């Protein structure tokens, strides 16, 4: 079974703090994604990575950065947390897209509260 | 403008009822996914389809490519089916998500 794990289920931070969210997958997937999920808005893509050290901006990259130094690990960084970044953050991974039907595998999510 | 629209947004059903959740999309797609999210946040993939119909237990997913429409059906619904069901479409490397349908099945 594919396993995608996230470093924290719940996180409380203060405005201005630097926040690291870690995601690890164990299936040697090329692609990894970071989403945030807010009520009424569904899942929105922040960043994705299709290879080590490669990254692409999603729909809402402002205020975020990412790092992928190893294939299995994809980190989301909030350089200076703000209250409007309070949200549920979901990591996902998938095999190389474009090779037919592929699906994403999601982590359990991290609920971040910024005070 | 949302590329993926789901209906209804909220649904309450009695145990045993037949349930249908609809999804319409406006982009050409490589594949359509139905996802299930239980309270607590974890998301699992139920179906991935690009044509026709798929069945898994009490769940059935259909897609009509010409009409850009998909349905998720649950037969003999059960309280453990209570969850948010999310429709997602993939176009090349990009995924587009609906806002989800919150289903509550009452015993």
A18-45 pLDDT, tens digit per residue, is 999 999 999 898 889 999 999 888 889 9
Burial code (b: 16+ CB inside 10 Å, e: under 16) for A52-75 equals eeebeebeeeeebebbbeeebebb
Distance CA B22, CA B74 (A): 12
Chain B residues whose beta carbon lies within 8 Å of the beta carbon of residue A108:
40-42
Q: Which residues in chain A land under pLDDT 50? A: 99
Q: Of B33, B42, B93, which has the smallest distance from its Cβ to A108's Cβ?
A: B42
pLDDT attached to residue B1: 58
pLDDT attached to residue B18: 97
Task: Say if residue B8 is preceded by a cis peptide, omega within 30 of 0.
Answer: yes
pLDDT attached to residue B59: 94
Q: Of B2, B95, B100, which has the smallest distance from its Cβ to A104's Cβ?
A: B95
Place of tokens 């176009």: B91
pLDDT attached to residue B76: 95
Q: C-alpha distances in angstroms, A83 versus A12, A36, A114, B96?
A: 11, 14, 5, 25
Classify residue A72 by its DSSP letter. Answer: T
Distance CA A50, CA A33 (A): 9
Distance CA A77, CA A67 (A): 8
Residue A95, number of CB atoms within 10 A of its CB? 17
Q: Which residues in chain B land under pLDDT 70? A: 1, 41, 93
Among B43, B83, B102, the residue to mutate for chain A (most A Cβ within 10 A): B43
Residue B10 host element (H or E): strand B10-14
pLDDT attached to residue A99: 47
List of long-range contacts for B60-67, beta carbons under 8 Å, 24+ apart: B61/B34, B63/B32
């Amino acid at each position: 079974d594919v396993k995608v794990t996230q470093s924290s289920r719940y996180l409380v931070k203060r405005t201005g703090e630097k926040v690291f969210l870690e995601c690890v997958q164990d299936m040697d997937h090329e692609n990894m994604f970071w989403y945030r999920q807010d009520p009424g808005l569904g899942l929105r893509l922040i960043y994705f990575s299709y290879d080590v050290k490669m990254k692409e901006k999603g729909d809402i990259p402002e205020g975020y950065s990412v790092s992928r130094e190893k294939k299995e690990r994809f980190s989301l960084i909030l350089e200076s947390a703000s209250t409007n970044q309070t949200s549920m953050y979901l990591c996902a991974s998938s095999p190389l897209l474009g090779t037919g039907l592929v699906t994403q595998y999601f982590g359990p999510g991290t609920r971040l509260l910024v005070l | 403008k949302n590329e993926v629209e789901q209906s209804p947004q909220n649904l309450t059903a009695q145990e045993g009822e037949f349930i249908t959740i609809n999804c319409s999309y406006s982009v050409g797609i490589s594949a359509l996914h139905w996802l299930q999210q239980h309270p607590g946040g974890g998301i699992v993939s139920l179906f991935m389809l690009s044509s026709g119909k798929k069945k898994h237990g009490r769940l059935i997913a259909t897609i009509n490519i010409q009409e850009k429409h998909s349905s998720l059906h649950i037969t003999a619904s059960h309280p453990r089916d209570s969850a948010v069901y999310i429709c997602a479409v993939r176009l090349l490397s990009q995924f587009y998500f609906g806002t989800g349908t919150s289903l509550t099945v009452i015993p």
